Amino acid sequence: MTTNSLTTSQGAGRAGDKVFSGATLAAGCLILVVLFGVALFLVIQAIPALVAPPSDIQGGQGFFAYIGPIVVGTLIAAVIALVIATPVAIGVALFISHYAPRRLASGLGYVVDLLAAIPSVVYGAWGAAFLAPQISPAYGWLATYMGWLPIFQGPASATGKTILTASIVLSVMVLPIITSLSREIFLQTPKLHEEAALALGATRWEMIKMAVLPFGRPGIVSAIMLGLGRALGETMAVALVLSSGALTASLIQTGNQTIAAEIALNFPEASGLKVSTLIAAGLVLFVITLGVNMIARWIISRHKEFSGAN
Amino acid sequence: MTVTAPVARKRSALTKGQLPAFAPYVVLAVALVLGAAILALIGFNAFGWGLVSAILFAIGLVGWSAVVEGGRKARDKLATCLIVGSFLVALLPLISVIWTVLVNGIPGIITPGFLTTSMNGVTGSLDNKSVDDGTKVLGGIYHAVLGTVQITLLATVISVPVGLLTAIYLVEYGNDRALARAITFFVDVMTGIPSIVAGLFSAAFFFAVVGPGTKTGAVAAVALSVLMIPVVVRSSEEMLKIVPNELREAAYALGVRKWRTILKVVIPTAISGIASGVTLAIARVIGETAPILVTAGFATTINNNVFGGWMASLPTFIYTQILNPTSPSNPDPSSQRAWGAALVLIILVMLLNLGARLIARIFAPKAGR
C-alpha cells in the first residue's frame, strides 16, 4: 500500500491543527491589539502636552486653544471637498451604472479608479504647481464681485494657495471613493423595480429618481461618510497646496490650517513638548475620523444587502 | 398608385412629438460654433470653449425638447446632460494630473544619471551653477527608489502573514462568532485610519519602546503595515469566501486535517486573487508620504540598513524637493527632480495596478465549468 502523505502522522496532524488555528486566532487578535495600541501609544505620548502649563504650548494659551482653530480648518476643508465631490461622484456613478454602454462600463470604472491610484503627493504637487496659478484669477473675480459674502472676502491670494484650492484637490481625491461605493450600490438595484418603472412609462431619469436613488440612499450616505473620513485625514494635498495661517472665514485668502498638514509640516523638525503637542493633535484627528468611519460602517452593516463596503 | 407615398411620409402616432434622432448632433454643432464665437470676443482658450459649448448644448437641447416633447422629456434630457457632464468633469483632473506630470517629469527622467545617482553631495551652489551655465541638473533618485523598495518590502513581509492568517481565521474558523464580527468591524474601521495617524502611532510606539527620536526605515514599515493589513485582510477574505465548499468537503471526506486542507486546497485555489490583492495593497502604500515623513526622516544618501539611520523614499523626496528646494534661490533644478520622481512613482503605481490585473487573469484557477 502506498502511504498517503496527507493522512499519515496522526499526532503531528492534530498538533498542526492546534498550531494553525492558534496562529490564525493570534493574527486576528493582533489586529485588535494594534488598533488598541494606536489609541494607547498616542495617548501616552500626548499626555505631556495635555498636562503641560498652557504657556509652554505653541501660542501660549494651552493645547485646546492651539488645536481649536486647526480642527475648524480641517472641518471647513473636508466639508467643502464633499460639497464639490458628492454631486459629481453620484453623477459619475449613475453614468457608469445606468448611462454608459454596457461594454464600456467596466473600462470607464477602471478609468475612475485610476484617480484613486495616483499618489497623494502627486496631487499635492499638481495642486501647487498647476491648479493654484490657474485658479487665482477666478479668486480675484470672486473677491471683486462676491466680496460682500464673508467667505469670498478680499483681497484674494495672488498665488491661489488658499483653503478653497486645497479643498478642490481634496475633492478630486475623495471622488473615486464615493463613486466606487455608489456605483456598487446602484448596480444592485432590483432589476424588476427598474423595469416596472420603465414599463409604466417613466423616463430614464424618473426611473432613477423612483427606483435607484431611494434604494441606494443609505449606501450613498455611508459613501459620503467614508469620503469625509478620507478628506479629514488627507495630508499632502493640504500641506503642499495651502499656505497656512490663522483661522479666517474667507476661503480665498491665505490662512487656515488642517490637523494633518500641521503635523506633516512641523513634526520632522519638532522635539520635546512640540512632539507631544503634535501627537496629541494626531489623537484628536484619530478620534474624529474614527467616529465618522464607525457611523459609516454602522449604516452599511444595518443594510447588509449593500456589499458596497467590500 | 399615387396613394401610398403620402402615407409613408406621415409620422406614426407613436413617434409623434419626439425630437429627430439627429437632434443632439445639430445642437452640438451649433453650440460649438456659438461657443467659439463667444470665446473669440472675450479671448480664446480651449477650456473656456469646452465649458461654454457644453452649457449652450445643454440649454439648446433641453429647450428644444421642452418645446417639442414637453416637460418630462426635457427634464430627462437635462438629467442626462448633467450626468454625462459630471463624468467629463471627473476626467478633467485625471487628464490634467497625468499631463502635468508627463510634461514636467520627462526632462527630469531623461537627464543622464537621474535614476542611478543619489543626492549625496548635491548642494545649492551646484544647482545654482547648473542653472547659470545651463549644464545638466545633478543628483538623482537612486537612494529614494532604494528606500521605497526596502520600506515597502519590509511592510509587505509584516502585513501579508498577519493579513492572510486573519482572513483565514475569519473565513475558516470565525463561524460568525462575536470575536470574528469584532475583527471584521475593526478591520473596516482600520481602513479609515488617516495615514498620518498611522505614522504617528508607529513613531509614538518606537519613541516609547526604543527611545525618543527613533527614525528608521523599519519605523516607516510598521506605519505602512498598519495601513496595509486591513487591505490585505479584506481582499484575501473575499477570495477565500468564493472557494467552493465542495472542495473543502472533498478533502475532509478523504480524512485530511483542516489545516492541511486550508494550506493544500483552499489557499492554492484562491492564490491568484490573494496575490492580486496583495499587489494592489502594495500599490496603495507605495505612494504614501505622510507616514514616512514622520517616521523615516529625510536622507540624501544611500542607506542600505532598514533598521538604522534615516532613509529617503520617493514620496518624501518629491515633498522635500518641492517644499525645501536644495537651492532656495533657484528652485527649478529641485522641481525638475521632484517631477521626475513623481513620474517614476506614477509609473511604479500603474505597473503594480496592471500587474495585479495580470496576476488575477493569468493565475486564475482553471474552473471545471
Q: Is it the case that residue A8 has pLDDT exceeding 70?
A: no
pLDDT of residue A212: 87
pLDDT of residue A225: 84
Of the segments A143-152, A159-168, B162-171, which one has the largest average pLDDT value?
A: B162-171
Picking from A226-230, A261-265, A294-298, which range would have the lowest pLDDT averaged per residue?
Answer: A294-298
Are the beta carbons of B322 and A125 separated by less than 8 Å?
A: yes
Are the beta carbons of A124 and B233 separated by less than 8 Å?
A: no
**Range A68-78 average pLDDT:** 87
- What's the one-letter identity of residue A81? A
More confident: A170 or B207: A170
CA distances from A110 to A114, A122, B92, B363 (A): 6, 19, 15, 21
Quick check: B254 and B343 in contact, CB under 8 A?
A: no
Quick check: A74 and A170 in contact, CB under 8 A?
A: no
**Residues of chain A found within 8 Å of residue B180, distances taken between Cβ atoms:** 28
Measuring CA to CA, which residue among B144, B149, B152 is closest to residue B302? B144
pLDDT of residue B140: 76
Tens digits of residue pLDDT in B209-222: 777 777 888 888 88
pLDDT of residue A4: 59
- Give A129's DSSP letter: I
CB count within 10 Å of CB B120 equals 13
Are the beta carbons of A286 and B212 separated by less than 8 Å?
A: no
**Range B67-78 average pLDDT:** 84
Residue found by looking up cell 484617480 in the block: A115
More confident: A7 or B361: B361
Measuring CA to CA, which residue among B45, B197, B294 is closest to residue A233? B197
pLDDT of residue B10: 59
Picking from A178-182, B4-8, B299-303, which range would have the lowest pLDDT averaged per residue?
Answer: B4-8
Of A23, A41, A114, the CB nearest to B208: A41
**Range B69-80 average pLDDT:** 85
**Range A103-132 average pLDDT:** 84
By 3-state DSSP, what share of chain B in percent is helix, strand and coil, each rounded to 5?
75, 0, 25
Nearest C-alpha of chain B: how many angstroms from A83? 14
How confident is the prediction for chain A on average, in pLDDT? 81
Peptide bond between residue A155 and the one before it cis (omega within 30 degrees of 0): yes
Alpha helical stretches, state H, B70-112: 71-109
Of A7, A99, A172, the CB nearest to B80: A99
**Residues of chain A found within 8 Å of residue B182, distances taken between Cβ atoms:** 32
Confidence tier at A307 by pLDDT (50, 70, 90): very low
Picking from A54-68, A106-120, B246-260, which range would have the lowest pLDDT averaged per residue?
Answer: A54-68
Q: Is it the case that residue B207 has pLDDT exceeding 90?
A: no
**Range A105-125 average pLDDT:** 83
Measuring CA to CA, which residue among B188, B179, B192 is closest to residue A29? B179
Tell whether ipTM is more than 0.85.
no
Picking from A169-178, A284-293, B127-136, B316-325, which range would have the lowest pLDDT averaged per residue?
Answer: B127-136
Tens digits of residue pLDDT in B197-206: 888 888 888 8
**Residues of chain B found within 8 Å of residue A234, distances taken between Cβ atoms:** 194
Measuring CA to CA, which residue among A124, A240, A113, A125 is closest to residue A179? A113
Nearest C-alpha of chain B: how many angstroms from A156? 22
**Residues of chain B found within 8 Å of residue A30, distances taken between Cβ atoms:** 162, 166
pLDDT of residue A89: 92
Q: Give the start-end residues of each E strand in chain A.
A: none
Are the beta carbons of B90 and A115 separated by less than 8 Å?
A: yes
d(CA B367, CA B340): 44
- Give A269's DSSP letter: G
**Range A224-242 average pLDDT:** 84
Interface test with A, best of B86, B284, B316 (most A CBs within 10 A): B86
Confidence tier at A82 by pLDDT (50, 70, 90): very high
Q: Is it the case that residue B303 has pLDDT exceeding 80?
A: no
Residue found by looking up cell 478609468 in the block: A111
CB count within 10 Å of CB B49 equals 16
Are the beta carbons of B260 and A286 separated by less than 8 Å?
A: no
pLDDT of residue B157: 92
Sign of the Cα torsion A296, B90, A265, B157 reads positive
Residue found by looking up cell 455611508 in the block: A222
Q: Is it the case that residue B307 has pLDDT exceeding 80?
A: no
Of A119, A230, A293, the CB nearest to B189: A293
Q: Is it the case that residue B18 has pLDDT exceeding 70?
A: yes
CB count within 10 Å of CB A169 equals 28
Measuring CA to CA, which residue among A224, A82, A92, A171 is closest to residue B91? A92
- Name the percent of chain B lying above pLDDT 70: 94
CB count within 10 Å of CB B222 equals 25
Q: Is it the case that residue A98 has pLDDT exceeding 60?
A: yes
Nearest C-alpha of chain A: how many angstroms from B205? 6
Are the beta carbons of B169 and A28 separated by less than 8 Å?
A: yes
Closest residue on chain B to A110 (Cα)? B353
Displacement of CA B215 from its chain's centroid (Å): 27
Dump the DSSP string for B281-347: HHHHHHT--HHHHHHT---SS----TTSS----HHHHHHHHHHS-SSTT--HHHHHHHHHHHHHHHH
Environment class of A10 (CB within 10 Å of its CB; exposed 0-12, middle 13-18, buried 19+): exposed
CA distances from B104 to A125, A304, B107, B350 (A): 11, 46, 7, 18
pLDDT of residue A13: 66
Are the beta carbons of B173 and A25 separated by less than 8 Å?
A: yes
Tens digits of residue pLDDT in B113-152: 777 777 776 777 777 777 777 777 777 788 888 888 888 9
Environment class of A135 (CB within 10 Å of its CB; exposed 0-12, middle 13-18, buried 19+): middle
Q: Is it the case that residue A88 has pLDDT exceeding 90?
A: yes
Largest CA distance in chain A: 93
More confident: B13 or B368: B13
Of the segments A3-17, A291-305, B81-95, B312-326, which one has the largest average pLDDT value?
A: B81-95
pTM exceeding the 0.90 threshold for the entire prediction: no
Confidence tier at A308 by pLDDT (50, 70, 90): very low
**Residues of chain B found within 8 Å of residue A124, distances taken between Cβ atoms:** 319, 322
Displacement of CA B329 from its chain's centroid (Å): 34
**Residues of chain A found within 8 Å of residue B345, distances taken between Cβ atoms:** 119, 121-122
- Name the percent of chain A lying above pLDDT 90: 5
d(CA A87, CA B86): 8
**Residues of chain B found within 8 Å of residue A90, distances taken between Cβ atoms:** 86
How confident is the prediction for chain B on average, in pLDDT? 82
**Residues of chain A found within 8 Å of residue B298, distances taken between Cβ atoms:** 268
Q: Is it the case that residue A91 has pLDDT exceeding 50?
A: yes
Displacement of CA A230 from its chain's centroid (Å): 1
Closest residue on chain B to A6 (Cα)? B256
d(CA A190, CA A235): 39
- Name the percent of chain B lying above pLDDT 90: 5
d(CA B139, CA A70): 37
Q: Is it the case that residue A202 has pLDDT exceeding 90?
A: no
Tens digits of residue pLDDT in B274-299: 888 888 888 888 888 888 888 877 77
Which residues, at least 6 apart from A138, have a Cβ–Cβ distance to it below 8 Å? Answer: none
Tens digits of residue pLDDT in A264-282: 888 877 777 888 888 888 8
Quick check: A235 and A149 in contact, CB under 8 A?
A: no
